[in-house]
């Protein structure tokens, strides 16, 4: 499993216009890690692009990465302690991104760009790929550690 390859796939889904950022990441992680979620899992990610429904708030790529981490490490039953690990990994993704970019606000990350302009598409494709790769790195690192993994690779 190559995180750089995962980056390329997610970037292409975004750049080609097939999917927005959060959708591209969820789809790519689901397919490349063979998680077995139905293709409809992309629907769960469809409300997050362009900063949650186009409002310009939290970066959709980051929320897509968070959803993908939850697909692997999230809890499926009340009281499941898996939530603690999931929250920690999602916080790690959040902190790495905000440390590099200074914020998670879509509006700030794309300041001065016209939505769907070539400049905007380039910027967001790169961010989508960055988060897909970082998400894959986190998942792969954690799978190499002892612990339960609910899905076969």
Residues 6+ apart with CB under 8 A from 131: 10, 21, 25, 59, 61, 62, 64, 65, 93, 97
pLDDT for 77-98, tens place per residue?
999 999 999 999 999 999 999 9
Q: What's the CA gap between 32 and 16, in Å, rounded?
A: 19
CB atoms within 10 A of CB 145: 8
Model-level pTM?
Answer: 0.91
Q: What's the CA gap between 4 and 110, in Å, rounded?
A: 24
**pLDDT for position 145:** 59
| Domain locations in the chain as residue ranges | 3-143
Tens digit of each residue's pLDDT, the chain (153 residues): 899 999 999 999 999 999 999 999 999 999 999 999 999 999 999 999 999 999 999 999 999 999 999 999 999 999 999 999 999 999 999 999 999 999 999 999 999 999 999 999 999 999 999 999 999 999 999 998 544 444 433
pLDDT for 111-130, tens place per residue?
999 999 999 999 999 999 99
């Amino acid at each position: 499993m190559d995180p750089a390859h995962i980056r390329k796939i997610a970037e292409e889904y975004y750049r080609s216009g097939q999917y927005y950022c959060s959708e591209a990441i969820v789809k790519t992680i689901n397919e490349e890690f063979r998680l077995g979620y139905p293709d409809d899992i992309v629907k769960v990610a469809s409300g997050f692009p362009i900063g949650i429904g186009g409002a310009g708030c939290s970066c959709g790529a980051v929320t897509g990465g968070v959803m993908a981490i939850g697909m692997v490490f999230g809890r499926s039953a009340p009281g499941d302690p898996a939530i603690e690990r999931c929250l920690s990994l999602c916080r790690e993704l959040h902190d790495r991104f905000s440390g590099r970019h200074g914020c998670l606000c879509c509006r700030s990350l794309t300041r001065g760009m016209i939505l769907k302009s070539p400049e905007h598409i380039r910027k967001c494709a790169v961010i989508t790929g960055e988060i897909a790769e970082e998400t894959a790195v986190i998942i792969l690192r954690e799978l190499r550690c002892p612990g339960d993994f609910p899905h076969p690779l």
